Amino acid sequence: MPGPFMRARGGREKFDAASLKKIVLYCKPHLPLIIISLFCAIVGSVTTIIGPERISDLINIIIKGIISGVDMAEFVRIAATLATIYVAGALFNYIQQFVMANVTQKTSKSLRTDIDKKINKLPLKYFDTTTKGDILSRVTNDVDTIAQTLGSSVANLVSALVLFVGVVIMMFKTNWILSLVTIFVSLFGFMFMAIILKCSQKYFNKVQTYVGDLNGHIEEAYSNYQVVKSYNAVDNETEKFVCHNKNLYSVGWKAQFLSSMMQPIMAFVGNLSFVLIFAVGVSIALNGGHGVTLGTLTAFIIYAQLFTQPLTTLAQNMTSVQQASAAGKRVFELLDADELDSETEKTAKLTNIKGKVEFKNVKFGYDKNKLIIKNFSASIFPGQKIAIVGPTGAGKTTIVNLLMRFYEIDSGDILIDDVSIKDLTRENVHDLFDMILQDTWLFSGTVKENLIYNKQNISTQQLNEVCNAVGLNHFVQTLPNGYDTMLNDVGSLSEGQKQQLTIARAMIKNSPLLILDEATSNVDTRTEQTIQQAMDKLTNGRTSFIIAHRLSTIRNADLILVLKDGDIVEQGNHKQLLQKNGFYAELYNSQFANLG
């Protein structure tokens, strides 16, 4: 399926700095907390830097004391200072982690809130070209990846940078020759790290993409599991899952392998620097000293270890930043997607309408270069029951999508009570319609919550009247808690029961215009008769649009519009169209001929 979630599998994907910049902007409202966290990280790093110098002093006092006796007062003073330094460092590091955890959760909340708002502003076309699983993956997995990076990497990167600069200064202060040896060896670490980062970024980008593809497949297969089982397609779906999983495994393994190389490489560099420091340090001491004592050498070993530590931290956190970059790219693709046009300037509003609807030379195509509705014109008077029939792909459902403003027409106009729907907000247009589709939708909640969906102040008496009208009263009475029974397992309901519930929901909404898209196709003949009677009550006095494949259900329609290839080829009532013996008569007779 084409859409934003489909990307080229080949090619080199680069580090997405633009996504990281946008993530930083999301953190901007929490700048005071971030500054506090960074300050604590810096102070924690400083305590780590100045600690080895005090350790060097302790060792020198002990070495000196072997000959002339240990100065206990000085020893205790330095030891107490050292303990205070490390306790303060631990406290500041704790505060830093606590504050960043707070920032992380607030930023995640902001991202998900904006995604929720964005989804409500996206055109239906976006959802037609993007799998549900891919959208869910962006909302959950990708946002979680960003949050994990914010929580563990931002302050650590700053802390590592401060530690790195401070350690370099202290190393040169301690001994410049040993400092040059350490830095020279560490240059190899930087070189390898840069190469690995360049190679691994494209795989981290692909990991996020393949996770979205895998989630899309899982959501699709599980939500239609009955179809999968009935067609014995479990092996086929499993094969597809294995294919998606292999793709994810392949790039995931490469990404993790390359990123995991950073730490052992830096560890090797660190160990190599220790060996060279001992060798060079002892050589200096044996050839005149130049201020190199046992305490100095011990402190320098600690500094050398601290010198590789921030490099290792940088390597590890750059892996997280790479993942956040890839995740951020996907999240902001969603947030930056084209929205529905703003309607803040629209002031026209229809409430108590008569129900007149007019199509004027409507043209539309999902692809601008391929029209589906070519030149549709029709006038519907208040209270009429209009049936729209035709073969598959004739444009029946498309007409309804345009009428509801789920899509915008390319040219022409649609008017309700002589007011163009272009001058009305989408919410106003939606309020004018009840819509009952072939595919039912119920959510996890009570029967009452499903029936009064988004409506207020609906009494039990009204519920009883509606359920009685659609034949649901016996079903409700058999439930353990009546209207308060939870519908946790929607799959346990028959298709007929689901459809009856959605029809009852539409009757409760009681809008002036009604759309029925094969509303009785999933119920048995007896239930259909009951629902058809309810439909007659529901459509009484209201302008109704009925999309039907079973032509026997629309015999009493006031006007039947016969579509073929996006055009009206015939119109009239059932009797008139049969007398014409044209395309409608052919469709109608073919249904009953097949029964013979």
What are the φ/ψ torsions at residue 96 (nearest 5 degrees)?
A: -60, -45
Kindly tell me if the per-residue pLDDT of 156 is higher than 80: no
- Give 338-368 pLDDT, tens digit per residue: 888 888 788 788 888 888 999 999 998 887 7
Give the separation between CA 319 and CA 325, rounded to whole angstroms: 10
Query: Which of 155, 185, 207, 162 has the alpha carbon at shortest distance from 50?
Result: 162
The contacts of residue 373 (CB under 8 Å, 6+ apart) are 362, 363, 364, 365, 395, 398, 399, 402, 409, 566
Q: What is the mean pLDDT of the chain?
A: 80
Full set of structural domains in the chain with CATH: 17-335 (1.20.1560.10), 357-595 (3.40.50.300)
Mean pLDDT, residues 202-228: 78
- Tokens at 461, concatenated: 């008496």
Residue 486 β-bridge partners: 446
Query: Residue 66: what pLDDT?
Result: 66
Query: Residue 12: what pLDDT?
Result: 37
Instruction: Name the amino acid, one letter, at 382.
Output: P
Give the separation between CA 485 and CA 210, rounded to whole angstroms: 40
Mean pLDDT, residues 214-243: 78
Mean pLDDT, residues 314-329: 80
Give the separation between CA 297 and CA 300, rounded to whole angstroms: 5
Instruction: Name the amino acid, one letter, at 454.
Output: N
Query: Residue 360: what pLDDT?
Result: 92
- Per-residue DSSP letter, 424: B
Evaluate whether 503 touches 531 at the Cβ level (below 8 Å): yes
Characterize the bridge pairing of strands 559-564 and 567-572.
antiparallel
Kindly tell me if the per-residue pLDDT of 588 is higher than 50: yes
Mean pLDDT, residues 552-581: 86
Q: Could you tell me the maximum CA-CA distance found in the chain, to the nearest angstrom?
A: 126
Q: For the chain, state the CA radius of gyration.
A: 36
- Give 392-405 pLDDT, tens digit per residue: 778 888 888 889 88
* pLDDT class of 280 with cuts at 50, 70, 90: confident
Query: Which of 569, 566, 562, 570 has the alpha carbon at shortest distance from 363?
Result: 566
Evaluate whether 264 touches 165 at the Cβ level (below 8 Å): no
Query: Among 132-141, 436-445, 516-525, 569-578, which range has the highest average pLDDT?
Result: 569-578
Kindly tell me if the per-residue pLDDT of 312 is higher than 80: no
Query: Residue 323: what pLDDT?
Result: 80
Which three-class secondary structure state does DSSP give residue 466? Answer: helix
Give the separation between CA 581 and CA 588, rounded to whole angstroms: 10
Query: Which of 198, 316, 199, 324 has the alpha carbon at shortest distance from 251?
Result: 199
Characterize the bridge pairing of strands 373-380 and 543-547.
unpaired
- Tokens at 476, concatenated: 């409700």
Query: Residue 357: what pLDDT?
Result: 92
Which residue carries 């799998």 as its tokens?
131
Give the separation between CA 186 and CA 267, rounded to whole angstroms: 10
Query: Residue 412: what pLDDT?
Result: 92
- Tokens at 189, concatenated: 């670490």
* pLDDT class of 499 with cuts at 50, 70, 90: confident
Mean pLDDT, residues 275-279: 79
Query: Residue 226: what pLDDT?
Result: 63
Q: Which residue has the higher pLDDT, 510 or 489?
A: 510
Which residue carries 């959208």 as its tokens?
135
Q: Is the pTM of this model over 0.85?
A: no
Give the separation between CA 275 and CA 553, rounded to whole angstroms: 90
Give the separation between CA 43 and CA 96, rounded to whole angstroms: 10
Evaluate whether 206 touches 251 at the Cβ level (below 8 Å): yes
Query: Residue 593: what pLDDT?
Result: 57
Burial label, 552 (beta-carbon count in 10 A; 0-12, 13-18, 19+): exposed
Mean pLDDT, residues 155-184: 80
- Tokens at 492, concatenated: 């346990």
- Give 62-79 pLDDT, tens digit per residue: 776 666 666 778 878 888
Our measurement of the distance from residue 201's CA atom to the centroid of its chain's CA atoms, rounded to an integer in Å, reads 21
Give the separation between CA 38 and CA 482, rounded to whole angstroms: 57
